[in-house]
Structure 1
């Protein structure tokens, strides 16, 4: 099983969403940014490292949400979401095609990667936007 973390980054009453690049699996779909855990790494360490590598920003994980199991024909992914806050930095896209600081009420408007859909739903329920 592949463990992957993702960050629901909140800042100034908005949430960061990123669009996958053309060369990535599931190209041009939207997701919460994150990445694969490395051996010996905690979930929080993985989040901080991946977000710094991919977006050039520093975050603070605040709350772990329910992990999502997503099976494809070749692998099973455990997506581990965290609500985070932006600490510092200016976003520089290193892998993604685009990003938006979205209102939570607009999250349903994006064409999401399948594993992120349950994360969106839980986040909206938690923040009472359903």
Structure 2
């Protein structure tokens, strides 16, 4: 099983979502950005590193959500480890993805999400509904 982190990056009431490029698996689907843990790396350190490498921005992981175990059609299994993160600075510069958006919470369900990200999206929206009620 491959451990993969993902960041729900919040800034001014919006969340950063990224669209996978045509060269990536699951092309053109939307996801929370992140990446694989390296040996002896903490989840938080991996996430900060991956976001800096892929998007050229600084983040701070704040709250860990429930991990998602996802099996792809080729039987690859990942553990997707999501964190709600605070945006700390920098301008988004895409190195792997096709596109990005700072989305409102009400628009998040409109994207064509990667299957592994859907449970993360649902838990995040449910959490936000209860904390903002």
1:33 matched to which residue of 2? 33
Deviations 1:5-44 (A, max 9, x none): 0000000100000000010000000000000000000000
Measure the CA separation in 1 of the matches of 2:55 and 2:5: 15
Secondary structure in 2 matching 1:106 = helix
Question: Residues 80-119 of structure 1: matches in 2 within 5 Å?
Answer: 80-119=81-120
Q: TM-score, normalised to structure 2's length?
A: 0.95
Q: Which residue of 2 aligns with 1:77?
A: 78
1:2 is matched with 2
Query: 2-side partners of 1:90 and 1:52: how far apart?
Result: 11
Q: What SS does the corresponding residue of 2:93 show, helix, strand or coil?
A: coil
Please report the TM-score for the alignment, with normalisation by the length of structure 1.
Answer: 0.97
Mapped to 2, the partners of 1:43 and 1:13 lie a distance apart of 25
Alignment partner, residue 126 of structure 1: 127
List structure 1 runs of 4+ shifted beyond 4 angstroms: none
* Superposition deviation, residue 46 in structure 1: 0.3
Cα shift at 1:75:
1.3
Cα distance in 2 for partners of 1:25, 1:76 equals 14
- CA offsets, 1:52-91, max 9 Å, x none? 0000000000000000000123311000000001001000
Q: Name stretches of at least 5 consecutive residues in structure 1 with no aligned partner.
A: none
Quote the residue 2:54 is aligned against.
Answer: 54
Q: Which residue of 1 aligns with 2:63?
A: 63
Q: Matches of 1:99 and 1:75 in 2, distance apart?
A: 26
Query: 5+ residue gaps in structure 2?
Result: none
- State how many pairs are aligned: 129
